[in-house]
Amino acid sequence: MAAAGTGPVPFKDIDDDATARVPPPKEEFGDLVAALPRKEQFLDGRFYQGFWLPEHYTPGVIAFQRRFTPRPDDMVLVSYPKCGTTWLKALAFAVMTRAAYPAGDHPLLRLNPHDCIPFVEDVFTDGHEAKLDRLPSPRLINTHTPYPLLPEGVTGGGCKVVYICRDPKDMVVSLYHFLRRLQPDLSFADMFDSVTDGTVPYGPMWDHVLGYWHASLAHPDRVFFLKYEDLLQDAGEHVRALAEFMGRPFSPAEEAAGAVASVVELCSFDKMKDLEANKRGTAGTYKSMPRDAFFRKGVAGDWVSHMSPEMAARLDDIFRDKFGGTGLTIP
């Protein structure tokens, strides 16, 4: 049963014990997944409907695709991994809840952004999807699912979608450092190759980005496209646009009171990195990551310290070629 509309509230604050679990979809979709092409790599992949999904999450993505029905005021936050997921989750949650909490008592001060907004892949893979029904509206949910694999109710216009992407060179460096926290002997060259040949988790990355880019051009009223680098350059401007898109524009009184700057400050890299909630413990249920792994450098252009100019040019050439004629550029 859908909960009444007093959201968004942090997903972590929904009572686990009161929520029935369904059997994890690993068994239900086991035969389907076993028949898919497989690649063994740093995160083993399965090729499903044109994309290399992490094998562990493939049944969960299929369950999401087949079973999720959006509410009209849902907001699905989508990212390519390591392209600004955590930041977007924090900003969207802060925008939507800015009037609900007294200054100094915001959930983002005690909870990691991933605890506030559920990651669909974890939720469905763990058989915990009924917990989504208990979230009061409007709900914010997050996924890395490629556009063509989204539930029909979402692509058909049943709710809004926000997407964030990033320079692929910085994405691969960020992914490398992230996964190295659990696999210290990870090879940067192998990871780089998987980006260029499209087998990286959720890849090909160019098709992931283009799916959302084209959707945002076709349906600007319901698909909002953001770039990490643009947020870095002028967070306030993009937070205003995000709030407008989400149906919660900042009023002149809020503008005068500095509400935009407050949201930007609450979600800033330096502020978030320093919070206890983001320093200790783990986030995610699959390969639980130390929370601090989500806050590394938070800059654009760090690829220069990991990639030769030849590698960078190779990646740029591939993406320029794929994005050619679409109006989409890489930073």
Q: Which residues are catalytic?
A: 144
Q: Which stretch binds ligand PAP (CB under 6 A): 97-105, 151-159, 246-254, 292-300?
A: 292-300
Smallest distance, ligand PAP to C-beta of residue 218, A: 25
Q: Which of 60, 84, 198, 204 binds ligand PAP (CB under 6 A)?
A: 84
**Nearer to ligand PAP among residue 87 and residue 206 (C-beta):** 87
Q: Which stretch binds ligand PAP (CB under 6 A): 2-10, 48-56, 153-161, 294-302?
A: 294-302
**Nearer to ligand PAP among residue 73 and residue 302 (C-beta):** 302
Per-residue DSSP letters for 131-166?
A: HHHTSPSSPEEEE---GGGS-HHIIIIISEEEEEE-
**Nearer to ligand PAP among residue 69 and residue 187 (C-beta):** 187
**Nearer to ligand PAP among residue 161 and residue 272 (C-beta):** 272
Q: Which stretch binds ligand PAP (CB under 6 A): 61-69, 125-133, 196-204, 261-269?
A: 261-269
Lookup result for tokens 């009023």? 251
For residue 52, report the phi and psi dihedrals to the nearest 5 degrees. Answer: -90, 95
Q: Residue 112, interface with ligand PAP (CB under 6 A)? A: no
Q: Residue 295, interface with ligand PAP (CB under 6 A)? A: yes
**Nearer to ligand PAP among residue 29 and residue 213 (C-beta):** 213
CB atoms within 10 A of CB 104: 6
Smallest distance, ligand PAP to C-beta of residue 2, A: 27
Q: Which of 294, 307, 315, 330 binds ligand PAP (CB under 6 A)?
A: 294
- Total residue count of the chain as it appears in this document: 331
**Nearer to ligand PAP among residue 90 and residue 123 (C-beta):** 90
Q: Residue 42, interface with ligand PAP (CB under 6 A)? A: no
Q: Which stretch binds ligand PAP (CB under 6 A): 93-101, 151-159, 265-273, 317-325?
A: 265-273
Asked if residues 129 and 22 have their Cβ atoms less than 8 Å apart, the reply is: yes
Lookup result for tokens 């005021």? 73
220: tokens are 């600007």
Size of the site for ligand PAP (CB under 6 A): 22
Question: H or E stretch including 77?
Answer: strand 75-79
Sheet holding 140-143, edge to edge: 140-143, 75-79, 160-165, 223-227
CB atoms within 10 A of CB 143: 28
Residue 121: which region, alpha, beta or left (left: phi > 0; alpha: psi -120 to 50)?
alpha
Asked if residues 164 and 226 have their Cβ atoms less than 8 Å apart, the reply is: yes
Q: Residue 297, interface with ligand PAP (CB under 6 A)? A: yes
Q: Which stretch binds ligand PAP (CB under 6 A): 18-26, 85-93, 214-222, 257-265?
A: 85-93
Binding mask 142-181 for ligand PAP (x = CB under 6 A): ----------------------------x---x--x----
Q: Where would I find the beta strands (DSSP E) of 144-257?
A: 160-165, 223-227
Please give the torsion angle defined by the CA atoms of residues 186, 298, 122 and 13, in that order, rounded to the nearest 10 degrees.
140
In angstroms, rounded to a whole number, what is the distance separating the alpha carbons of residues 131 and 147? 24
In angstroms, rounded to a whole number, what is the distance separating the alpha carbons of residues 195 and 42? 12
Interacting residue ranges for ligand PAP, rule: CB under 6 A:
79, 81-87, 90, 170, 174, 177, 267-269, 272, 294-298, 302
